[in-house]
Amino acid sequence: MIPSSLTAAFPFSVAFFDADGIRFSAGDLGSEFAFASVTKLLASRAFLVAVEHGLIDLDDSILVGEPARPTSLRQLLAHVSGVSFASAKRAAEVGAKRIYSNYAIDVAAQWLEKRIDVPFGDWLDEQVVAPLLLQDSYVDGSAAHAGRGSVRDLVRFGQELLVPQLISDSLAQEAASVQWPGLRGVTPGFGHYADNQWGLAMEIRARKEHTWFPSLSEDATFGHFGLAGSFLWVAPESGFGAAFLGAEPTGDWHKTHWQQLNDWLISNFG
Q: Which of 4, 3, 5, 2 is nearest to 14 (CA)?
A: 2
Above 90 in pLDDT, residue 209? no
191-193 vs 33-36, strand pairing mode: unpaired
Please give the pLDDT value at position 215: 97
**Cα 52–chain centre separation:** 19
Q: Which of 17, 14, 12 is nearest to 158 (CA)?
A: 17
**pLDDT tens digits, residue range 137-196?**
999 999 999 999 999 999 999 999 999 999 999 999 999 999 999 999 989 888 899 999
Which letter does DSSP use for residue 66 in this model?
Answer: B
Please give the pLDDT value at position 193: 95
Residues 96 and 68 sit within 8 Å (Cβ to Cβ): no
Q: How many of the other CB atoms lie within 10 Å of CB of 259?
A: 19
Question: Structure pTM?
Answer: 0.98
Residue 231, C-beta contacts closer than 8 angstroms, at least 6 positions apart: 38, 212, 223, 224, 225, 242, 243, 244, 258
**If one looks up domain 4-269 in CATH, what number appears?**
3.40.710.10
